[in-house]
Structure 1
């Protein structure tokens, strides 16, 4: 296989990082962004009231044409509409979802997985919340899977799972080629396992994203209202520290811990979720990121999954618990 190169809300009144600003949040309707026949089930409560050097040469730009009949979105939204609820997730056994990625080659599909101790499986959901297909990853265990990303590999796309939680466990990313779904309900694939260590003390992490060239970006989860950004260069087994970012106000603890992440298609913006906030961070130069910007989203208990939609724009999110809604926050046109 071609290798890709390279926990509940307790303080609802917490403040945002000093110096941040909020993106606007307008509009009130949304069609199904995954282009399926299902209708939205509700409008989400929003959290909008909470409040470099452009040329690093480190990563290739995102210029891959997406084979979906729609032009790829090259950056984040300038403004967001209210979040709309879809689903809910139909399988009551999927009650600890902790990763999310939007498929490029399978229009209408969201890939997800369970948190620590779950089956070593990836689930393809449609926006009605139905499980369309399941991929079983053979030969590995879900010790503490925390996030999921999709990136290019060869002529297709690969799903990359972050076995990145719990600081004192072995960490790795797991890589499998994304199948072109054809009605098959179950797949069994052997992942490529890429173990890694931290340059210093090991950290707990719950955020994983991919640069356009496939380089994994790890976003750590800390108790001091910060997160560390690390990358795993091609051929390396040790992470490289890039920068630290603020994920909450000084003194904020549980609600400021980073629980999920994703990169915009053009890799200029990092989406970071915490238990109380959602931030967009300018990472045009990932070694000198901008100030986190508060972004409106659907506030959920135990939310640990978020993903940009590279085709329709906006982003998706889902929280832990049985029969949870899939929320979509789209761009204002």
Structure 2
């Protein structure tokens, strides 16, 4: 029972962070702009967001847990252009997606992450599905390649994935009080479980992540804000986000000059937030300027993430959430004596 209470309290703390984080998002950039709202009544828990790498003005999204393995292509006004089902895929808890371009063929590639685990280790492994972007935007069922993953340091909850467009390496970002960036192997295998290894730290309760289209930076979204990083893991800047019901998704615009962020709920909005001046580093011609895919990077990443991941306000919110969780644990303990 103690273990059950402990795990339940983790969900309570996360919920408390969600409720308390809303005021922290109110100080958004003056340049924020609502791009559209999802018009489709089937899109009720938009959890992943990506810009099409080959279709101009097209965006992709999918619902959260308890949904079919389905994703939607929408236009710049939030209207659904096509609905796609992923053949043979499971949807235990789809939490994120990414979009890249195959350097060999120029075709778009979509990645869907079934990585949510609210019990922090309930699943023996998690999965990411690779789907070739449809060339025609009309309803269809698409084949997928499934890659299974296991964390080298034990199971955990995660809500963010990103793919470096320069190297093709996939990263998973965990959603924890002390989150981490995990690197997948350079070459993914379908015949065995791929091991995810910690390479850097992530901010408090990360809900999504994305790489810039040119690979010059990446962003990690939290309930509080978003933080930009150089591919090395060095913090660039912190970006205020618009006030949202539940901050869930983030992506770069096609030109890499702004961020797109969304939330869950029926007819949920998607906002565009310009990057702060000088936030995007000068692109490098070297593909090696990426998060080091070795555990040694975790030590330096810890300090870098801490630099841009916490503020006094975040710490106060964290303390308030912890107090709420403690009270809940005490209540549950008394009820289960």
Q: If the length of structure 1 is used for normalisation, what is the TM-score? A: 0.69
The question of whether the paired residues in 2 share the 8 Å contact of 1:147 and 1:260 is answered with yes
Match of 1:19 in 2: none
Q: Secondary structure at the match of 1:119?
A: coil
- 1:121/1:134 contact within 8 Å kept: yes
Over 3 Å counting, the alpha-carbon distance change for 1:132 and 1:13 in structure 2 is: closer
Tell me if structure 2 keeps the 8 A contact 1:111–1:124: yes
Report the equivalent of 1:162: 113
Contact residue 85 and residue 142 of structure 2 kept, 8 A = yes
CA distance in 1, matches of 2:143, 2:21: 42
Q: Partner of 1:175 in structure 2?
A: 130
The Cα of 1:107 is off from its aligned counterpart by 0.4
Does structure 1 residue 266 correspond to structure 2 residue 222? no
* Larger Rg computed on CA atoms: 2
Mapped partners of 2:27, 2:77: distance in 1? 21
From 207, 217, 224, the counterpart of 1:276: 224
Point out where structure 1 has 5 or more consecutive residues left out of the alignment: 1-6, 16-43, 49-80, 248-255
Question: Which residue number in structure 1 is paired with residue 57 of structure 2?
Answer: 108
1:219 aligns with 2:173: yes
Report the Cα distance in structure 2 between the residues aligned to 1:277 and 1:329, rounded to whole angstroms.
11
The SS at the match of 1:197 is: strand
- Residues 124 and 134, structure 1, Cα contact 8 Å, conserved in 2: yes
Higher relative contact order (Cα pairs below 8 Å, separated by 6+ residues): 1
1:204 to 150, 157, 165: 157
The structure-2 alpha-carbon separation of the partners of 1:87 and 1:144, relative to structure 1 and needing over 3 Å to count, comes to: same
Unaligned runs of 5+ in 2: 1-13, 278-337
Change in 2 beyond 3 A, CA 1:192/1:14: same
Flag the structure with higher helix content: 2
Classify 1:272/1:136 alpha carbon distance in 2 versus 1 (closer, same or farther; 3 Å).
Answer: same
CA distance in 1, matches of 2:227, 2:244: 15
CA distance in 2, matches of 1:238, 1:329: 35
Report the TM-score, using the length of structure 2 for normalisation.
0.69
2:96 pairs with 1:87 = no
Distance 2:187 2:101 in 1: 14
